[in-house]
Amino acid sequence: IVVSTLAEAHFFAAGGFDDILYAYPLPGARLEECVALAQRLQAFQLLLDTPEALALLRQRPLAGGKRWLVWLKLDCGNGRAGVRPTDPSALSLARAIAEEAPEEVTLVGVYAHCGDTYGCRDVPAIQTIARATTAAVMDFVTT
């Protein structure tokens, strides 16, 4: 299940969900809350969009052989969160997540949210944004 707040993550975890993606970039001030969820659940997944967030996770490894499960958050036009897929730092961050600490952090994939569709008035407008987002993600992952 995908949630947009840690309160939602706690709610669904209490309801028996054991694989939760927190679809908002890691809030450093709430790292310990994320640690508790990651230790409790089979899979608690996070979004990262900065090297600083990766550094925070590396400074707080999980116990019991668990790894942080992370997605690189791409901003494909929404402008709210994430790193632009055309920004050279995006590929550098993806590589860092995947290669710097494989015993602590696992790169699950890339994540993009078409939040810029919220203002659309019809299906063709939504489809245009979805196609552009898909193309941006595909261009990024095939780089």
What is the CA angle 37-40-41, rounded to 5? 85
pLDDT per residue as tens digits for the range 2-12: 999 999 999 99
Asked which of 21-30, 78-87, 103-112, 124-133 is least confident by mean pLDDT, the reply is 78-87
All domains of the chain, ordered by start, with CATH? 2-142 (3.20.20.10)
Name the pTM for this structure.
Answer: 0.85
State residue 54's pLDDT score: 93
User: Using CA atoms, how far apart are residues 55 and 121, in angstroms rounded to an integer?
Assistant: 41
pLDDT per residue as tens digits for the range 30-47: 999 999 999 999 999 999
Of the candidates 60, 59, 63, 89, the one whose C-alpha atom is nearest the C-alpha of residue 72 is 89
pLDDT per residue as tens digits for the range 53-104: 999 999 999 999 999 999 999 887 666 677 787 888 888 999 899 898 888 9
Alpha-carbon distances, residue 45 vs 79, 103, 136, 143 (angstroms) = 22, 16, 23, 24
User: Using CA atoms, how far apart are residues 68 and 101, in angstroms rounded to an integer?
Assistant: 10
Total H helices, total E strands in the chain: 5, 5
